[in-house]
């Protein structure tokens, strides 16, 4: 029986010729990732069990990014715990404030993730690296601890849904609209326990930043991973960023899929997820009333990359945010920050009346740098609009693309640029 | 292994942000986390929960963030089992890895109501709603996962091998 792309990667890492959906396997890991929230729990577990060493100091990445730069004393203790562990174990890929960025933008940029890898990360958005043709998935702290100690993880081999991507998207339609559209169609548990395998002619129109956004939010459909075929764009990206050799896996022609869904990019419209689930989507045309907004956040592991900032700046250039609007822009890594500075994007944001923050996950999970008050509304390029996610439990989050976010900041209500 | 207790009932898509809001993730202490368990979906949970109580929810319990703090908070609050129609996959892994008993059973997740007295037999997968006099058969774990649960967590299991 044919295997999906994901199944082939897992089989190779489990030393098996063939695997099938539902099979329990143990796979070798190419990278184990943790952040300042999840790593301390893993480190404590390792200490409790007297697991005093790591399997490979080059195959662990520790990125304090959630509440870093330290937001309060308790967070500072967590970051200190991660720092001390990294030093003690001589972890090669520990990223201190100043080098760090939001983990899922940082790791591909640093060349730590390439096609064919098996990666686990104690962060649900670890599925982002599927954009490069890797199998990567989010786990908890205990799995991270076990991964750091042994270099292995257990997996139930997932089945897959095949997404046949066709057509060419219109201007202002980005990866965010694609994935919000898909989640709106299949629901937040529409791909539960499964792989989302993207394929088809339309993929050539999706930039790498679009693909990172799409793979990033596979978890928001309940998926184990999202994965793209490795084309020239992906190989060019890997070549530019990594010294490692990618390994290309392709799904077998007779691979079995639980479902096949076609997404015609040419028909997509700016798509917004209403509170309090990413599946509550509406296109801009379906929003008849003016929904007033207090804050706009542009950033995160979903949409804090250079293309996202360029899109937002293109719309904000020479404009002002509406009266009373708080626009917060967070470039996802130091490299992106510098690039945005050199391209004049930071100037554009500041002149428009926004603030630009150092890289951090902060506001996305209601940590800091933009927490919402009672009944406030935010258009955010982040990934979750759950109750209380960004602050007060009565606050509302509308998930959208950088283009919709920027336009909404100018108008003061949810709006999209005209095509 | 058995569980018995009073039921707290929730609906679809209970996410880990409402189980333990991120504003409390600057702590990793299980007892401290437990004092905020379910805070953003059920403010009275912490004051009402008793040791042994059971959470029953419908689809996709534990979706969203991978924070292991969510099952840790539930376990530390005294809950003896979570029953749901389905669990989000990272929560499912985390629960097994830290030894929080969970059970998938669609019929039970729909029929059981808040306040019911429920018992769960993990060896047979039998769920009994004592209040309503109903009985359900839950999905037993594959053998591999049972070994992890028996060892009281993944790291114990790894060390015992």
Which pLDDT does position B158 carry in this prediction?
85
Q: From CA B13, how far away is CA A53, in angstroms rounded?
A: 38
Q: Write out residues 307-346 of A within 8 Å (CB-CB) of B.
A: none
Residue A374, SS3? coil
Partners of residue B109 in chain A, C-beta under 8 Å: none
Partners of residue A387 in chain B, C-beta under 8 Å: 15, 17-18, 40-41
Instruction: Give the tokens for residue A21.
Output: 């959906």
Which pLDDT does position B161 carry in this prediction?
79
Q: Which of A82-86, B75-79, B157-161 has the lowest mean pLDDT?
A: B157-161
Partners of residue A222 in chain B, C-beta under 8 Å: 60, 63, 88-89
Q: Within 10 Å of residue A406's Cβ, how many Cβ atoms?
A: 35
Those residues of chain A that have pLDDT short of 50 are none
CB pairs under 8 A between A and B: 131
* A49:B69 CB<8 A: no
Give the strands of the sheet with A326-329, arranged side by side.
A281-283, A271-273, A396-399, A377-380, A295-298, A326-329, A355-356
Instruction: Give the tokens for residue B9.
Output: 């009932």
Which pLDDT does position A140 carry in this prediction?
98
Which pLDDT does position A322 carry in this prediction?
98
Note the Cα B70 to chain centre separation in Å. 10
Which pLDDT does position B88 carry in this prediction?
98
Q: From CA B117, how far away is CA B7, in angstroms rounded?
A: 6
Which pLDDT does position B149 carry in this prediction?
79
Q: From CA A117, how far away is CA A278, in angstroms rounded?
A: 28
Nearest to A365 among B22, B40, B158 (CB): B22
Instruction: Give the tokens for residue A46.
Output: 């390792």
Q: From CA A404, how far away is CA A174, in angstroms rounded?
A: 10
Residue A260, SS3? strand
Q: Does A382 touch chain B (CB under 8 A)?
A: no
pLDDT digits over B83-98, tens only? 999 999 999 999 999 9
Note the Cα A246 to chain centre separation in Å. 21
Residue A269, SS3? coil
Which pLDDT does position B148 carry in this prediction?
86
Partners of residue A48 in chain B, C-beta under 8 Å: 155
pLDDT digits over B102-156, tens only? 999 999 999 999 999 999 998 889 999 999 999 999 987 778 888 887 788 898 8
pLDDT at B25 over 90: yes
* A140:B67 CB<8 A: yes
Which pLDDT does position A297 carry in this prediction?
98
Give the contacts of A298 (CB within 8 A, at least 6 positions apart): A304, A308, A309, A312, A327, A328, A329, A330, A381, A402, A405, A406
Q: Within 10 Å of residue A282's Cβ, how many Cβ atoms?
A: 18
Q: Where are the alpha helices (DSSP H) in B20-160?
A: 30-34, 45-48, 69-76, 89-98, 106-111, 143-150, 154-160
When pLDDT is cut at 50, 70 and 90, the band that residue B30 belongs to is: very high
Which sign, positive or negative, has the C-alpha torsion A51, A56, A61, A64? positive
Partners of residue A67 in chain B, C-beta under 8 Å: 25-26
Which pLDDT does position A133 carry in this prediction?
98
Statement: the pTM of the whole predicted model exceeds 0.90 = yes
Q: Write out residues 204-263 of A within 8 Å (CB-CB) of B.
A: 219, 222, 224
Partners of residue B29 in chain A, C-beta under 8 Å: none
Would you say how long chain B is, in residues? 161
Q: Does B109 touch chain A (CB under 8 A)?
A: no
Asked if residues A240 and A132 have their Cβ atoms less than 8 Å apart, the reply is no
Nearest to B40 among A78, A145, A388 (CB): A388
| Cβ burial A63-73 (10 Å sphere, 16+ → b, else e) | bbbbbbbbbee
Mean residue pLDDT across chain B: 94
With 0-12 / 13-18 / 19 or more C-beta atoms within 10 angstroms meaning exposed / middle / buried, residue A28 is middle
């Amino acid at each position: 029986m044919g295997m999906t792309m994901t199944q082939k990667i897992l089989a190779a890492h489990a030393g098996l010729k063939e695997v099938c959906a539902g099979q329990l396997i143990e796979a070798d890991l190419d990278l184990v990732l943790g952040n300042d929230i999840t790593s301390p729990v893993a480190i404590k577990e390792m200490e409790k069990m007297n697991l005093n060493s790591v399997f490979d100091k080059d195959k662990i990445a520790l990125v304090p990014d959630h509440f870093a730069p330290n937001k309060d004393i308790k967070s500072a203790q967590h970051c200190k715990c991660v720092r001390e562990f990294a030093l003690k174990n001589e972890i090669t890929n520990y990223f201190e404030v100043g080098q760090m960025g939001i983990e899922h933008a940082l790791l591909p940029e640093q060349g730590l993730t390439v096609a064919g890898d098996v990666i686990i990360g104690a962060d649900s958005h670890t599925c982002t690296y599927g954009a490069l043709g890797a199998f990567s998935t989010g786990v908890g702290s205990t799995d991270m601890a076990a991964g750091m100690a042994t270099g292995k993880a257990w997996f139930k081999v997932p089945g897959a849904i095949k997404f046949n991507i066709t057509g060419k998207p219109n201007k202002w339609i980005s990866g965010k609209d694609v994935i919000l559209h898909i989640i709106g169609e299949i629901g937040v548990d529409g791909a539960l326990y499964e792989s989302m395998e993207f394929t088809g002619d339309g993929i050539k129109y999706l930039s790498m930043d679009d693909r990172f956004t799409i793979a990033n939010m596979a978890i928001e459909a309940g998926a184990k991973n999202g994965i793209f075929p490795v084309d020239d764009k992906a190989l060019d990206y890997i070549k530019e960023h990594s010294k490692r050799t990618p390994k290309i896996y392709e799904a077998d022609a007779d691979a079995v899929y639980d479902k096949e869904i076609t997404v015609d990019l040419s028909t997509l419209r700016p798509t917004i997820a209403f509170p309090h689930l990413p599946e509550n989507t509406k296109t801009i045309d379906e929003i008849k009333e003016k929904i007033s907004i207090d804050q706009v956040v542009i950033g995160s592991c979903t949409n804090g990359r250079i293309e996202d900032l360029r899109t937002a700046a293109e719309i904000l250039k020479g404009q002002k945010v509406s009266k009373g609007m708080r626009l917060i822009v967070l470039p996802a890594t130091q490299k992106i920050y510098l690039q945005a500075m050199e391209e004049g994007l930071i100037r554009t944001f500041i002149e428009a009346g926004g603030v630009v923050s150092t890289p951090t996950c902060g506001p996305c999970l209601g940590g800091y740098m933009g927490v919402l008050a009672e009944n406030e509304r935010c258009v955010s390029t982040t990934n979750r609009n759950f109750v209380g996610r960004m602050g007060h439990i009565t606050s509302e989050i509308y998930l959208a693309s950088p283009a919709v976010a920027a336009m909404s900041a100018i108008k003061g209500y949810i709006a999209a640029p005209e095509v | 292994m058995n569980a018995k207790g009073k039921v707290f009932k929730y609906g679809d898509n209970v996410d880990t942000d409402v189980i333990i809001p991120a504003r409390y993730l600057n702590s990793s202490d299980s007892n401290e986390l437990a004092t905020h368990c379910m805070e953003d979906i059920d403010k009275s949970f912490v004051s009402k929960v008793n040791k042994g109580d059971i959470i029953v929810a419908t689809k996709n319990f534990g979706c969203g963030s991978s924070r292991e703090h969510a099952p840790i908070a539930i376990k530390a609050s005294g809950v003896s089992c979570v029953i749901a129609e389905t669990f989000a996959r990272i929560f499912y892994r985390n629960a097994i890895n830290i030894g929080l008993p969970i059970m998938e059973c669609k019929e039970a997740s729909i029929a059981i109501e808040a306040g019911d007295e429920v018992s769960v037999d993990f060896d047979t997968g039998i769920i009994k709603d004592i209040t309503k006099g109903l009985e359900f058969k839950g999905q037993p774990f594959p053998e591999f996962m049972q070994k992890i649960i028996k060892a009281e967590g993944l790291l114990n299991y790894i060390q015992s091998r």
